[in-house]
Amino acid sequence: MKVWFNPSKAIESELSAIAAETEGFGADFTPGVRPADPKFGDYQANGVLGFAKKNGVNPRELGQKLIDAAITSGRFDPEMVELSLAGPGFINFKLSPAFIWQWQLDFSTKADYQSGAKALKGGRKIIIDYPSANTAKQAHIGHLRPMVIGQAIARLLDFCGANLVRDNHIGDWGTNFGTLIMKIKRDGIDLSSLGDDALVTLDQLYKDGSALETEQPELRDISRNELVLLQNGDPENTAIWQQIVEISKVAFDKLFAQMGVEVDITLGESFYRDKVDRIYDELSEIGLAEESDGALVVWHDEVKKFARDNERPYPFNIRKSDGASNYASTDLATILYRLEEFDADEVIYLTDARQQDHFQQLFLTTKKWFQAKGYKLPELSHVFWGTILGADKKPFKTKSGESIKLQELLDEARSRAFDVVTEKNPDLSEAERHEIAESVGVGAMKYADLSSNRTQDYVFSWDRLLSFEGNTAPYLLYAVARINSIFRKVGVDPEAPIEGASQLETDTEQALARKLMGFVTALELTLNDLRPHFLCTYLYELTSAYSSFYNADKVMVDDDAVKARRLILCARTRTVLKTGLELLGIKPLERM
RNA sequence: GCACCCGUAGCUCAAUUGGAUAGAGCGCCUGACUACGAAUCAGGAGGUUAGGGGUUCAAGUCCCUUCGGGUGUGCCA
């Protein structure tokens, strides 16, 4: 029996082909195949309903006609799949136990699953812009989501065949450097002698500098002048700036290693400082940019809120009235660079939801600009997320007005997980308990952030981020650990082929096997609009099916054929869970 | 003022983008360790999807409206 790797897609295309040759349908008919509620079958097609309505025919009759044609065509082997008409005109597809079992035998390794997924992004050159933190600032709770969501999306794209460049577009050229340099010079600070806590000191120096400016407004002129000096290449200020950037990079690298953030290139805003003039020239030359109140701006009259005749005008400001560049100028220069240097097919930006207007303006501007110049326009998308809020529903701050430091969150995660593992498994060595706590604690934190729809805001709570029960990373990790434990006891390599298995019998075996087939569909759905929570939901459901199976059907039984088939299910579950966890940036464990 | 987003079980969230009887976790109640790891499993109670109107064979999802909350709104990024 030849089974479909991706039944949902296979059914869709077979049915389309059959409909094209069947009277009453047409080329504009789409079957609309999707996974179904298990009580109806494995997949359902609901395209007949809308199509029948549009053409004024009875949907049940039309559905039956399609089923008959499908069976006559011979493309739907009755040994593999059973078709039936239901309700107002749904077509249900129920895969046979033989199909489901054969699927487990044919597709078994991570490489098999990956080869099925590779077509999804097949060789596309994708630049992903993340995590793009600012220099000279300690990472706080607000940096959690870019790092966690960004790495999961990057790993997904990579797994699904993208030719990926992770670009850390750091903010290293902002106006804050004026204040920072002013304060550093005023206090005579030697940046090279700050040691391990250099970033903490820089963070404090900036805060103190800002406070000082509030007290003594005349200092603002000094700061502004320091910035101008820096931008004009003054050697002393450039040297200070380089040290600040270097200190930040060292701190980033340390944090990235803890968070599992991978970066391919780091080209900050400063990299584009000599590339913005071309932007001003080109946008002016094609008549897109114009002067307004001394600044260079772009209007988008076709979008109401960006139109020039609004009561409160809202242009895309690409050069400040003092002649300096800003966020918009460097972003435009960056897109051009990504086209010319990397030949990008797609650019994905990751920021919080509050920047939606900026990206809408950026994309509109780029589209018109590239069209006028005849440049190839990459697909541009803005992947955004909601804010982490405090109990007052405002962006989260502690009582003293500070944000929680990301390092503090990581330490708390490890510490809580260490306590739990020590309680559950006191016999493990301390070193191993620390390793487990790392994966469980940090994994729980990441999973908590990934498992709900990223566009929603949520209220911060330690228990929310560091829960270890229910739909959490430890639940998934625990299932992997139990599978590993079985293979250790049986003395079999979970990666090795298992022979002599009999067909599936119990309901729990079959439910698990069906769930295993859904991995690629889950990846597709996740990739569709880059929402990792779809993958989380799938992995949770898979684990739940495994846990039911584990409790109902003993693996280590005397009957070798039964043992073999259950070991196969364990091995497949282990592979999918490990692969899925790695995609989410969570490290699977041998034991916990 | 204008624009956009949100409101689902006591709490935290799903719902494959318009599909069949709205699902999970936590908490609560009842059971299962002399069975491969109980960080688990089996079961139960808990809903007028903020209110009202409309479109549709079909609405938590689309449209209108009221109420409640959030975000953005010219030189920060």
pLDDT digits (tens, 9 = 90+) for A418-472: 999 999 999 999 999 999 999 999 999 999 999 999 999 888 888 888 899 899 9
Q: What is the number of other CB atoms lying within 10 angstroms of the CB of residue A323?
A: 11
Q: Last residue of a domain, which of A336, A370, A385? A: A385
Residue A96: predicted pLDDT: 95
Strand B bases, protein C-beta under 7 A: 1-6, 12-17, 19-20, 24-27, 35-42, 56-58, 69-77
Question: Rounded to whole angstroms, how far apart are CA atoms A357 and A341?
Answer: 27
In Å, what is the separation between the CA of A523 and the C1' of B40? 27
Pair A159, A216 in one domain: no
Closest nucleotide over all strands to A85 (CA to C1'): B20
In Å, what is the separation between the CA of A478 and the C1' of B40? 9
In Å, what is the separation between the CA of A31 and the C1' of B59? 21
In a domain, A37, yes or no: yes
Residue A294: predicted pLDDT: 94
In Å, what is the separation between the CA of A9 and the C1' of B17? 18
In Å, what is the separation between the CA of A124 and the C1' of B16? 25
In Å, what is the separation between the CA of A143 and the C1' of B11? 26
CB A17 within 8 A of CB A11: no
In a domain, A90, yes or no: yes
- Name the residue with the least CA to C1' distance from nucleotide B72: A354
- In tens digits, chain A (592 residues) has pLDDT values of 789 999 999 999 999 999 999 988 887 899 999 999 888 999 999 999 999 988 888 999 999 999 999 999 999 999 999 999 998 999 999 999 999 999 999 999 999 999 989 989 988 999 999 998 888 888 999 899 999 999 999 999 999 999 999 999 999 988 889 999 999 999 999 998 888 889 999 999 998 998 898 889 889 889 989 988 998 899 999 999 999 999 999 999 999 999 999 999 999 999 999 999 999 999 999 999 999 999 999 999 998 899 998 888 999 999 999 888 899 999 999 999 999 999 999 999 999 999 999 999 999 999 999 999 999 999 999 999 998 888 777 778 766 677 889 999 999 999 999 999 999 999 999 999 999 999 999 999 999 999 999 999 888 888 888 899 899 999 999 999 999 999 999 999 999 999 999 999 999 999 999 999 999 999 999 999 999 999 999 999 999 999 999 999 999 999 999 999 999 999 999 999 999 999 999 999 999 9
In Å, what is the separation between the CA of A49 and the C1' of B54? 22
In Å, what is the separation between the CA of A510 and the C1' of B55? 42
Take residue A170 and report the two structure tokens written for it. 């750091």
Residue A399: predicted pLDDT: 64
In a domain, A45, yes or no: yes
CA–chain centroid gap for A194, Å, is: 36
Residue A139 three-state SS: coil
Q: How many CA atoms lie within 13 A of A131 on its CB side?
A: 26
For the CA atoms of chain A, what is the radius of gyration? 29
DSSP calls for A375-426: PPPPEEEEEEEPPEE-TTSSB---TTSPPPBHHHHHHHHHHHHHHHHHHH-T
Pair A206, A322 in one domain: no
Q: Which of A482, A484, A474 is nearest to A420 (CA)?
A: A474
Domain count, chain A: 3
In a domain, A442, yes or no: no
Pair A292, A163 in one domain: yes
- Name the residue with the least CA to C1' distance from nucleotide B20: A87
Q: Which of A450, A541, A465, A573 is nearest to A155 (CA)?
A: A450
In a domain, A535, yes or no: no
Residue A311 three-state SS: coil
* CATH classification of the domain holding A299: 3.40.50.620
Angle at A81 between CA A75 and CA A82, to 5 degrees: 105
Note down the domain range covering A194: 176-247
Question: Rounded to whole angstroms, how far apart are CA atoms A451 and A428?
Answer: 30
Pair A220, A313 in one domain: no
Pair A223, A279 in one domain: no
Pair A165, A281 in one domain: yes
Pair A214, A335 in one domain: no
Closest nucleotide over all strands to A477 (CA to C1'): B39
Pair A145, A238 in one domain: no
- Name the residue with the least CA to C1' distance from nucleotide B18: A50
- Name the residue with the least CA to C1' distance from nucleotide B23: A37
In Å, what is the separation between the CA of A458 and the C1' of B11? 13
In a domain, A78, yes or no: yes
**CA pseudo-torsion sign A519, A522, A527, A533:** negative
In a domain, A530, yes or no: no
Closest nucleotide over all strands to A32 (CA to C1'): B19
Instruction: Tell me the sheet residues that pair with A93.
Output: A43, A83
Pair A375, A283 in one domain: yes
Pair A13, A35 in one domain: yes
In Å, what is the separation between the CA of A444 and the C1' of B72? 32
In Å, what is the separation between the CA of A358 and the C1' of B8? 31
Q: Which residues contact A82 (CB under 8 A, 6 or more apart)?
A: A41, A93, A94, A96
Percent helix, percent strand, percent coil in chain A, to nearest 5:
55, 10, 35
* CATH classification of the domain holding A43: 3.30.1360.70
In a domain, A551, yes or no: no
- Name the residue with the least CA to C1' distance from nucleotide B13: A452
Closest nucleotide over all strands to A304 (CA to C1'): B3
Q: Last residue of a domain, which of A385, A400, A421? A: A385
CB A460 within 8 A of CB A396: yes
Question: Rounded to whole angstroms, how far apart are CA atoms A125 and A114?
Answer: 18
Pair A165, A299 in one domain: yes
Q: What is the number of other CB atoms lying within 10 angstroms of the CB of residue A193?
A: 7
Closest nucleotide over all strands to A303 (CA to C1'): B3
Measured in residues, chain A has a length of: 592
Question: Rounded to whole angstroms, how far apart are CA atoms A210 and A151?
Answer: 33
Pair A214, A273 in one domain: no
Q: Last residue of a domain, which of A95, A113, A134? A: A95
Residue A77 three-state SS: coil
Could you say which DSSP state residue A555 is in? Answer: S
**CA pseudo-torsion sign A447, A448, A449, A450:** positive
Closest nucleotide over all strands to A554 (CA to C1'): B36
- Name the residue with the least CA to C1' distance from nucleotide B40: A547
